[in-house]
Amino acid sequence: MLILGVLLLLAAVALGVAAIGGGSDTINFDVLNNTIELTGAQAFLVGAAAGVAAVVGLWLIRGGSRGAYSRRRELRQLRRSQRDQRAAEERAEREREQTDREQTDREQTVREKTAHEEV
């Protein structure tokens, strides 16, 4: 992989030197009904600038999407923990109510027994 990267880099440098040092013939580009005349070196530099702009744009898109993904993941985790916490609170409340009912029932039973024994 490293060797392939070095070979590609050397090929790019050789192509760049050949394009910049190449002849002075002009190249005509028709863009939106306008004719643009560039030398080989100018055309190469414009292409290189466009390539750099494309790489920077892709890098920015990647960074933005990574941040959005991490925010969505964190939001899902927060919602899940809130849902779990709410469920635990509801369970605890039901248990408290059950305990209160049982306590009330025991007190009522004791009162009934006491009232029955007094009679």
pLDDT along the chain (119 residues), means of 10: 82 77 75 83 83 90 82 89 92 91 85 74
Closest CA to 100 of 112, 111, 88, 92: 92
Q: Are 44 and 16 in contact (CB under 8 A)?
A: yes
pLDDT attached to residue 118: 67
Give the span between the Cα atoms of 87 and 93, in whole angstroms: 10
Q: Are 27 and 38 in contact (CB under 8 A)?
A: yes
pLDDT attached to residue 46: 83
pLDDT attached to residue 94: 92
pLDDT attached to residue 109: 85
For the question of whether the overall pTM of this predicted structure is more than 0.75, the answer is no
Q: Are 48 and 55 in contact (CB under 8 A)?
A: no
Domain ranges of the chain: 21-108
Give the span between the Cα atoms of 119 and 116, in whole angstroms: 5
Which residue type is seen at 13? V
Residues linked to residue 28 through DSSP beta bridges, in sequence order: 37
Residues 6+ apart with CB under 8 A from 37: 26, 27, 28, 29
pLDDT attached to residue 43: 79
Would you mind telling me the total number of residues written for the chain in this entry? 119
Structure tokens at 109: 């039973």
